[in-house]
């Protein structure tokens, strides 16, 4: 008999044998498996590849627009955290 980890059992809890995982559950399960079998260097390499691919397919305006959005979201988060602490 194959031992099943607790992580994998939670996906099957309360399900009938023929029930399938949702797309979200399937992605989460795959992500957890990948995280267990790869190290920090793996994620750095795929992040670098993704960044290089994005740079090839987008222009300066793309980065400016996204930078502005990020700055707005960051500013909103800072304002909210300051309000909570007051």
Instruction: State the DSSP code for 39.
Output: -
What pLDDT shows up at residue 59? 92
43 to each of 22, 24, 38, how far by Cα in Å? 25, 21, 8
Question: What are the residue ranges of helices labelled H in 1-86?
Answer: 6-12, 23-37, 40-57, 60-85
pLDDT tens, N- to C-terminus, the chain (86 residues) = 344 455 556 656 666 666 788 899 899 999 999 999 999 999 999 999 999 999 999 998 988 888 888 777 777 777 777 777 66
Question: What is the reported pTM?
Answer: 0.48
């Amino acid at each position: 008999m194959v031992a099943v980890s607790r992580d994998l059992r939670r996906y099957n809890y309360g399900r009938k044998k023929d029930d399938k995982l949702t797309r979200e559950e399937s992605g989460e399960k795959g992500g957890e498996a990948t995280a267990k079998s790869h190290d920090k260097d793996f994620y750095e390499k795929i992040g670098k590849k993704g960044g290089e691919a994005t740079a090839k397919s987008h222009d300066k305006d793309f980065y400016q627009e996204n930078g502005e959005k990020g700055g707005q979201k960051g500013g909103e988060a800072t304002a909210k955290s300051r309000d909570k602490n007051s």
